[in-house]
Amino acid sequence: MSPSATVGSSTAVTGPRGILIDVDLTRRQSELADAALRIIARDGMAALSFRAVAAEAACSLGSVQKAFASKDLMLAAGFARLRQEAAPLPPGEPGRPTLRAWLVALLLGILPLDARRRATQRQGDAFAQQALTDPAIAAAIADSDAEVRGLLASLVTRARAEGEVPAHVDPVTTAWAVLALAQGLAMQLLYRPEPEADVRVRLDATVAALLR
């Protein structure tokens, strides 16, 4: 899953077969959706079932079935929770104090550099696989990508106008490059973890090169 899908969230998500779930879930649905996400992070999407969620949440199978009428609804709720709880934008105004520093902070907040962020990345990757057969989840992820690229392009445009970034740097191309950097590096860090300090140094140099 694109790391951009962890930045912000939409108001609703449509599950497989067009079932609409608003992200304003009940407390019980949120708890069970979180249990489903833990299973996905630990064992993969194939391990997810009502019975597995009941065991993970230490509750009865009937209570899970009461909260979600179908597995599709449970998946949609899990996707909504993932988007709610994943890494937000860095604090403060986007692109400040410098675009370079802000981009580095954004990427460090998303990349799988600790246990929590690795779990989030595994969950996102599982939903990305689900998107291959679920047009609604695919559309939600694509919309997130487009939103983040739009934000990044607008920040590059402002940085050019303020003289921080040279005029020849193309905002749209740079936005695509930053997102591609995030996606590729996230995958690499899952199978080859590195210290955050080392990643920060290389990220700073790479972002600086993109903005030149």
pLDDT tens-digit series, residues 102-161 = 999 999 999 999 999 999 999 999 999 999 998 888 988 898 899 989 999 999 999 999
For residue 83, what pLDDT is reported? 84
Looking at every residue in the chain, the average pLDDT score rounds to 89
Domains and CATH numbers, the chain: 3-85 (1.10.357.10), 99-211 (1.10.357.10)
pLDDT beyond 80 at 170: yes
**Enclosing H/E stretch for 44:** none
Whether 72 and 15 have beta carbons less than 8 Å apart is answered as yes
How far is CA 37 from each of CA 48, 72, 103, 211, rounded to the nearest angstrom?
Answer: 9, 14, 28, 36
Average pLDDT value for residue range 35-62: 97
Residues of the chain with pLDDT > 90, as a percent, come to 75
- What count of Cα atoms within 13 Å lies in the side-chain half-sphere of residue 57? 25
Query: Smallest Cα–Cα separation from 206: which of 72, 116, 127, 103?
Result: 103
How is residue 4 written in tokens? 């951009």
**Enclosing H/E stretch for 87:** none
pLDDT beyond 50 at 28: yes
3-class DSSP state of 193: coil
Q: At residue 172, what is the residue type?
A: V
pTM, whole model, 2 decimals? 0.81
C-alpha dihedral (139, 116, 81, 103), degrees to nearest 10: -50
Q: How confident is the model at residue 86 (pLDDT cuts 50, 70, 90)?
A: confident
For residue 23, what pLDDT is reported? 55
Over residues 128-142, the pLDDT tens digits come to: 999 999 888 898 889
**Phi, psi angles (nearest 5°) of residue 116:** -65, -45
